[in-house]
Amino acid sequence: MNYLTDGLLMALKIIVSCDKQFFEIVFVSIKVSFISTLLASSVGIPLGIFLAQKKFPGRGIILTIINSLMSLPTVAVGLMLYAFLSRQGPLGHFGLLYTLSAMVIGQFILILPITTGLTISAVKTLDRRVAQTIIALGANSRQRFRMFIHEAQPGILAAIIAGFSRVFAEVGVSMMLGGNIKGYTRNITTAIALETSKGEFALGIALGIVLLTVAFAINVFLTTLHKQTT
Amino acid sequence: MIYQLQNIRKTVGSFSLKIENCQIKKGKIYSVIGANGGGKSTLLNTLSLIEPPSKGKVIFSGQKINYANKNDLLNKKRKIGYLLQNPYLFNMSVYDNVSCGLKIRGFKPQETKAKVNRILKEFSLTDLASRKPSQLSGGEAQRVALARTLVLDSDVFLLDEPTANVDKKNIHNVEKIIFRLNQEKKSTVIITTHSQYQAFRMSRDIISIVNGQIKDIAYENVFSGTLKKETDKIKTLALSEGIALRLGSGDTGPVTIAVDPSDIILSKSELSSSALNSFSGTIVRLDQANGSLRVFVDIGVEFCALITHHSFYNMSLNIGKKVWLTFKANSIKVL
């Protein structure tokens, strides 16, 4: 039990002392998660709206694949991309392994099925008159897309929050593709894994508490944003 | 002609719309009547150009619709204002709902604002402008959807049951606005309705749809005019000079009436009866109607009466013969 109380006290101490190294770790987590969520949302939301609306041969198979990939293990993504990005891999010459870019790519692949799949659900559960009304008003493709986003806003925001939460808390991709390099690719989750492996449980718990607090704050922000826009 | 439908087939599930030939004239108001599931909404859907027919040709403003040419189709769709049956309001304020169609169609902000404010006022929705759809009653939501369609300044308005859920007081107002648009903008209006009274109030051109096919209309001898009081119980409606119908019901003022052809007694001489309406005229044409004859008599205006073949030959009637038409005051239906 000492671990927990020590961890809590250490968490408070770290936050209050404005430890530079700690804030670097938090900044890497937020930066990489934000960029990967932004990219995955930019691709996943339009793709989700398209797949929810259009019917074409093979659509059912694509939807099944997307749903299956929503539970993709982070280490599987990490391992697969490692094989591609390592020096001997087909994309090794780009020198991306153990960089923030590699982490972003891995996290993007990890949550693309989540943002796409949840957007599909959000649009498919809309009243069928939404599409009819938008078309009847004479909307072109771009305007239709914007109206769908507006009407499916709560579901789409849930897709973004779910995607962000997944990457913010994942460790497999960050560890395998980022390499947990101090001051460069070390983020909250890889730091927790490192401290725990060193036996520094209190520091690990402290970082865990910080992780939860930051995740909670970001979700509160996104939810408030949603309430203001509806 | 604004629309020409030729050999149209539109299959929706087990239902099929079959229209051999239908022409809609520019600038007129049409009422589409028929039972539920009869094909009224499918017809409007086809006219809206949103869904192509399974077979046949749709000609709009003289041009055959090519559903593969998306840009041209969008431009044509934007000449049409379509109110869906049981319309949907977007999750935004009443003002934004009403203005969104104008924004989609590229109207400038100042113009949009002026148009929206005018239509909100006309529909008595100004006070509700900032409300969300969840804060509206069924009738208010219907009026918002109607305002969103009618604000569009379209060449054609397709209104699928526009006054469903609207209270009596506002029905009159909605009809007034539709008339205004028809008069001012020369817009063609096609409305579907369950109410034959509304259909005849709105237009002289009725499209009756039964089981997906256009049939002969249910009412004939439809006239409009101003009902005036003659005595406490009797009112008169002047049809032309010297020709006035006498009615027992109806409020004074503008009315539209219909007389069922089967309620009209045709005779060679004036009948001595209690019927208040008796006119002489000349048979101008004849038409077959389900085992009977439709006899069209010119009494200053044209009336249609129904008579059996047997009676027609027994009375030695023919085109050009003089006859009398007699019918009771309560045979006149105020629409």
Q: Which of B86, B92, B101 sits opposite A137 (nearest CB)?
A: B101
Alpha carbon of B11 to those of A75, B42, B72, B245: distances in Å? 52, 9, 25, 45
At A87, which CATH number? 1.10.3720.10
Given an 8 Å threshold on Cβ–Cβ distance, is B87 in contact with A230? no
Contacts with A143 from chain B: Cβ below 8 Å:
104
**Residue B246 to residue A228: CA distance in whole angstroms:** 64
Given an 8 Å threshold on Cβ–Cβ distance, is B88 in contact with A143? no
Contacts with A139 from chain B: Cβ below 8 Å:
104
Least confident interval from A72-81, B144-153, B205-214 = B205-214
Confidence of residue B328 (pLDDT cuts 50, 70, 90): very high
3-state SS record for chain A = CHHHHHHHHHHHHHHHHCCHHHHHHHHHHHHHHHHHHHHHHHHHHHHHHHHHHCCCCCHHHHHHHHHHHCCCCHHHHHHHHHHHHCCCCCCHHHCCCCCHHHHHHHHHHHHHHHHHHHHHHHHHCCCHHHHHHHHHCCCCHHHHHHHHHHHCHHHHHHHHHHHHHHHHHCCHHHHHHHCCCCCCCCCHHHHHHHHHHCCCHHHHHHHHHHHHHHHHHHHHHHHHHHHHHC
Chain B residue with minimal CA distance to A129?
A: B88
Confidence of residue A2 (pLDDT cuts 50, 70, 90): confident
**Residue A138 to residue B102: CA distance in whole angstroms:** 10
Q: Which of B77, B91, B101 sits opposite A230 (nearest CB)?
A: B91
Given an 8 Å threshold on Cβ–Cβ distance, is B104 in contact with A150? no
**Residue B274 to residue B331: CA distance in whole angstroms:** 13
Confidence of residue A17 (pLDDT cuts 50, 70, 90): confident
In A110-129, the residues whose Cβ lies within 8 Å of chain B are 127, 129
- CB of B91 less than 8 A from some CB of A: yes
Spatial contact of A177 and A78, defined as CB atoms under 8 Å apart: yes
> Looking at per-residue confidence, does A2 or B127 come out higher?
B127
Note the pLDDT of residue A75: 92
> What are the pLDDT digits (tens) for B264-307?
999 999 999 889 999 999 999 887 665 678 899 999 999 999 89
- CB of A217 less than 8 A from some CB of B: no
Given an 8 Å threshold on Cβ–Cβ distance, is A150 in contact with B86? no
**Residue B59 to residue A118: CA distance in whole angstroms:** 42
Confidence of residue B217 (pLDDT cuts 50, 70, 90): low
Given an 8 Å threshold on Cβ–Cβ distance, is B104 in contact with A135? no
Given an 8 Å threshold on Cβ–Cβ distance, is A151 in contact with B87? no
**DSSP state at residue B117:** H
Alpha carbon of A72 to those of A29, A65, A69, A190, B155: distances in Å? 20, 11, 5, 19, 53
Note the pLDDT of residue A125: 94
Residue (of B151, B191, B185) closest to B171 by Cα position: B191
- CB of B90 less than 8 A from some CB of A: yes
> What are the pLDDT digits (tens) for A28-85?
999 999 999 999 999 999 999 999 999 999 999 999 999 999 999 999 999 999 999 9
Chain A residue with minimal CA distance to B86?
A: A129
Contacts with A150 from chain B: Cβ below 8 Å:
90-92
Given an 8 Å threshold on Cβ–Cβ distance, is B88 in contact with A140? no
> What are the pLDDT digits (tens) for A152-205?
998 999 999 999 999 999 999 999 999 999 999 999 999 999 988 988 887 788
β-strands B188-193, B156-160: how paired?
A: parallel
Spatial contact of B193 and B206, defined as CB atoms under 8 Å apart: no
Confidence of residue A229 (pLDDT cuts 50, 70, 90): low
| B129 Cα to chain A: minimum distance (Å) | 16
Q: Which of B84, B86, B104 sits opposite A138 (nearest CB)?
A: B104
> What are the pLDDT digits (tens) for A59-74?
999 999 999 999 999 9
Given an 8 Å threshold on Cβ–Cβ distance, is A133 in contact with B77? no
Chain A residue with minimal CA distance to B73?
A: A138
User: Domain limits at A221?
Assistant: 3-229
Q: How many domains does chain A have?
A: 1
pTM of the model: 0.76
Which one of A133, A134, A148, A149 would you mutate to disrupt binding with B, by most B Cβ within 10 Å of its Cβ?
Answer: A133
| B215 Cα to chain A: minimum distance (Å) | 28
Look at residue B42 and tell me whether its pLDDT is greater than 90: yes
**DSSP state at residue B13:** T
Given an 8 Å threshold on Cβ–Cβ distance, is B50 in contact with A132? yes
Q: Which of B84, B105, B148 sits opposite A132 (nearest CB)?
A: B84
Given an 8 Å threshold on Cβ–Cβ distance, is B74 in contact with A140? yes
> What are the pLDDT digits (tens) for B297-313?
999 999 999 898 899 99
| B81 Cα to chain A: minimum distance (Å) | 7
What's the alpha-carbon Rg for chain A, to the nearest Å? Answer: 20
In B22-61, the residues whose Cβ lies within 8 Å of chain A are 48, 50
Which one of B72, B100, B148, B159 would you mutate to disrupt binding with A, by most A Cβ within 10 Å of its Cβ?
Answer: B100
Q: Which of B80, B84, B148 sits opposite A129 (nearest CB)?
A: B84
Note the pLDDT of residue A222: 79
Least confident interval from A125-139, B44-58, B112-126, B156-170 = B156-170
